[in-house]
Amino acid sequence: MADPARAREVFFAAARRAGFQLAGVAPAAPVEDFPIFQQWVGDGLAGPLRYLADHRAALRADPRHLLPSARSVLCVGLLYNTAGPPRHSISRYAWGAGDYHDIVRALLASVVDEMRGQLGPFEHRICVDTAPLLERSLARRAGLGWIGRNTCLINQRLGSWFFLGEVLVSLALPPDGPPPDRCGTCRRCIDACPTQALVPAGGGRYRLDARLCISTWTIEQRGPLPAAAREQTGTLLFGCDICQEVCPWNRRAPLTAMPEFQPLHPDPDLAELAFLSEEEFRARFRRTPVWRARYAGLLRNAATAMGNSGDRAYLPALRRLAAFGDEGVREHALWAIRRLEAAA
């Protein structure tokens, strides 16, 4: 069995060499935030995010449900912040050419390989955000940051523009401890949210009501959106960064040099998207997070953004979308046409 202190040193060195800016260790034990998660699901705040409330929800109570031999959870954070344009309609985590799931998983695999080379064999399981883990809670327990009022993990020195990843290991490494909550009395994220999706949970805590979140609407929600939601979405096509952009802890957030995250399409031309074929959508977005919105979802969002733009030059593109085969795209395009014509 590897010496715990040495195993910890090897992990931190391997994580640093792999390119992770944050690293810490949490115990593989019942997650203290699980009752909060249960209440969130029970109150219906997951909305259409059914993958968080399905039969795997109970697995999030304890990492050992995923690896019975686990004794530690190695938590990491990978910076994705880049210097994109001030105006953008796609959330910055999706600006680049790479799928962060593949990138984080490959880097974690290199960490495991280095650790096994120095420490010998051990059981492990690599996890990204598709695994049923409460990864923000584990990252907080591992000292990577606190969970802010915007429900994002915030690091005092580096901000919140991070992808999280975990490795469950059968090694017992000395754990870290959670940092203090440093949101103080700040309400900037709460006040800036255009849909008031950050709702009080008592005791000064806030929860995300996914049913009101623009990211949910533009990424996860299928079919037509209610009219009020269309207006509140503004010109956002995929996701929403408002609650992170206004956070004071992100004012000096560093930038990543990783080529996979450099901005390729932070603000696509809406009229061009309207004429994008399904094959062109696949070629442009297949290996990026935007793929999750699906072809019809992106066209629906483009129609919404054109309707909220106030620019009648989009009418020809919208008339094309009004004849599209998908109900959500058609309905949003017709709504956008009426909106622009009424504003004339």
Name 59's Cβ contacts closer than 8 Å, sequence gap at least 6: 65, 66, 132
- Asked if 181 is an active-site residue, the reply is no
Q: Within its chain, how far is the Cα of 131 from the centroid? A: 14
Burial label, 203 (beta-carbon count in 10 A; 0-12, 13-18, 19+): exposed
Nearest CA among 200, 228, 193, 195 for reference residue 212: 195
Do 209 and 216 form a contact (C-beta atoms < 8 A)? no
Q: If we measure between CA atoms, which residue out of 137, 110, 124 comes closest to residue 20?
A: 110
Helices (H) then strands (E): counts for the chain: 13, 8
Nearest to 72 by CA among 145, 22, 141: 141
Cα–Cα nearest to 336, from 238, 217, 234: 234
B/e letters for 30-61, b = 16+ CB within 10 Å, e = fewer, are ebebbebbeebbeeebbbebeebbeeebeebb
241 φ, ψ (degrees, to nearest 5): -110, 10
Question: Which of the following is catalytic: 33, 62, 129, 267?
Answer: 129
Q: Rounded distance, CA 60 to CA 42, Å?
A: 15
> What are the catalytic residues?
129
